[in-house]
Every structure is written in C-alpha cells, then in structure tokens.
Amino acid sequence: MDNLILHNERTIPLAEAHLSPGQAGLLAGWGVFTTLRLYEGQPFEFHRHWQRMARDAVRLNLAMIYEEEAVCRSIVRLAEANHRAEGMARVWFVRNRGGLWAGDNQAPATDLIVCTHEIVPWPEKHRLMLQGNAIFSAGVLAGTKILSWAQNALLFEKARAAGFDDALLMNEKGELAECTSANIFLVRDGRVLTPPLSAGGLAGVTREVLLEIAPRAGIEMIEQTATPNDLDSAKEVFVSSTTREVAGVSLIQSQDVWVTVGSGAPACVGAKREFSCPGKVTRKLAQAFKAYVKSRIVAAAPAPIATPG
C-alpha cells in the first residue's frame, strides 16, 4: 500500500489515519468496496464501478454521501501524489452508524477510504481449485461486494496453500459461480459462456466490458448456467478481473472428496482437467480488451492547452 491515503476529504499519510472501533462498518463488515485499475493515472471505467457500488449500497442501506465526480478527481490526485500512474486503487465506503455496538461518534454517516498500490503480479496460466458450497445464490446479499470478505480471502488462502492460483467457487446448486475475485468463462462449441449473475457471482466490471466488446471481436458470448461437468467439453477456460484483465486457465482440479451437481449426483471426484492456455479465443479477447483500454485512456486524456499563435 502506498504512503498516502484518502480519508473522506483529506489526503493524509497512512500512519496518521484514525478509524474508530465504534464504526459499525468495521465491526460488522457493513460497507461496500471496489478495486480500480489505474492506467496513466486515470481510474479505468470509474463510472461502472461507481454504479455497482451505488447498487450494492442500496441493498446494504448505506448512505452514499459523496459525489461521483468529486471522488474520481480525488482518486486522480491521490494517484499523482503517490506517483502511482500505473497500478490500482481500492475504494471503501464504510458505514459509521447502526447496529447494537455502534459507537457514539461525530463521524459522517459513511467514511470514504481510498488507497493505491502497485499491480499484484498474476501468473499467465492460472491453476484453479474447485471449491463446492462456497456461494449461496439465494442469499439476500448474493453478488454484493461487501466489506465482509473473509470467506473469499480464506478460500483464496486455502487455494494458494494447496499450490493453486485461485479457487473456482460453486454455489449450493452445484453450479459454477466465480473465483474469489474474478469471473469465469468457458469456451465451448465455438462460443464463450459465463455463469449468469443468478448463480451468485459478482457483476465484474471487466466481465461487463467483455460482454459488450466480444461481438465486435467476432466472438459470441452468452450467460449460461454451467456445472463442473461442462468443463469436460470446454476447449479453453479463462478468468477476468480488474487486476488480471483476461487470463487463461491451464488446469482446474477438485480437492474435495465429493463435488455434487444440481441433480445431486456426484461428479469431479478428485478430477483434474487441463486446457489449452492461452487458447485462440482467450488471446483474441485479451487483445480486444487491451484495445478497449487504450481507447478509453485516449478518450479520458486531458485536452492539450492551446498556445498563442
């Protein structure tokens, strides 16, 4: 994490930040967050991230008391102050009031905290550990990116300890949902499918962009329910996220003794599946995404200052 952070309307050294133990958001994980990619000092697709946080805030009864444009400008200034033109930013909105153990403080209804960081390196070829019963798709907060991230962090840690790069999470119906911090895609029968949001996964911003640009790249992409058995016919698998962009998957393996699909029948018992990585479709989409990023950077660049003739 870089030295300077944004706390509400102030840019301060990390060591000087003070958060109250009476903040309901800290005690109960009551808040929302997002991770932004910084390209040339600009937060990529900030409006999409803001819209998702605003939707999630409504579900959490969280007051978004800050203005979108003002927060975006503050992130740009923070990145500049930290000399972080290329990297990432984490944005948290933390609820300060509510719950039985909330403190009696004079803080605003919601705290805004922003930190910047260098890009975390990811492998070119991902190895995923299949994890059953990790998502409850019918839950009240399913698909919401909330501060209470312990389960995802725990499963990621578990996967890394077992020699994998991430965990591929299944819901209570035995359907594929997402990774701990990335969306999943299968290439089958000449087209790309990704689990629908009803499976319980997060509405990733990179996922949203890929659904829009895939047709322009000549690739059919659909949202379709998938189970571990669908991996048998997949030619390629890849993941997408803010920090990974588009990354191929070379292997998916179940570490569970029993993994069940929707019918209740056992499947993938200790199974290991390997894929072409990165495959032709994955490479094509990765290139299309990079071209999209470049176009957005150019569009966001400040206009040159005119000089007298």
Q: What is the pLDDT of residues 158-181, one digit of tens each?
A: 999 999 999 999 999 999 999 999
88 found inside a domain: yes
Q: In 42-193, which residue ranges form alpha helices assigned H by DSSP?
A: 46-59, 68-81, 150-161
169 found inside a domain: yes
Q: Which two tokens stand for residue 42?
A: 């600009």
CATH of residue 154: 3.20.10.10
290 found inside a domain: yes
- Mean pLDDT of the 96-115 span: 80
The two most distant CA atoms of the chain are separated, in Å, by: 77
CATH of residue 14: 3.30.470.10
User: Which residue type is seen at 211?
Assistant: L
129 found inside a domain: yes
| Tens of pLDDT, residues 114-169 | 999 999 899 989 999 999 999 999 999 999 999 999 999 999 999 999 999 999 99
42 vs 52: CA distance, rounded Å: 19
302 found inside a domain: no
Does residue 108 sit in the same domain as residue 139?
A: no
Does residue 206 sit in the same domain as residue 271?
A: yes
Residues β-bridged to residue 115: 90
Of the pLDDT bands very low, low, confident and very high (cuts 50, 70, 90), residue 103 is low
Of the pLDDT bands very low, low, confident and very high (cuts 50, 70, 90), residue 227 is very high
The pLDDT score that the predictor gives to residue 215 is: 97
Query: What is the DSSP secondary-structure string of 89-130?
Result: EEEEEEE-S-STT-------SEEEEEEEEPPPP--SEEEEEE
Domain of 44 in residue numbering reads as 4-117
The pLDDT score that the predictor gives to residue 101 is: 66
231 vs 237: CA distance, rounded Å: 8
Does residue 71 sit in the same domain as residue 142?
A: no
Is residue 194 within 8 Å of residue 184, measured between CB atoms? yes
308 found inside a domain: no
Preceding peptide of 278 cis, ω within 30°: yes
- Give the CA-trace dihedral at 282, 221, 129, 226, to 10 degrees: -150
Does residue 61 sit in the same domain as residue 186?
A: no
Does residue 218 sit in the same domain as residue 93?
A: no
The pLDDT score that the predictor gives to residue 104 is: 64
Nearest to 65 by CA among 54, 56, 55: 54
Whole-model pTM over 0.85: yes
Q: Which two tokens stand for residue 225?
A: 């329910």
Does residue 160 sit in the same domain as residue 282?
A: yes
Number of domains in the chain: 2
The pLDDT score that the predictor gives to residue 272 is: 84
Query: Left (φ > 0), alpha (ψ -120 to 50) or beta: where does 74 sit?
Result: alpha
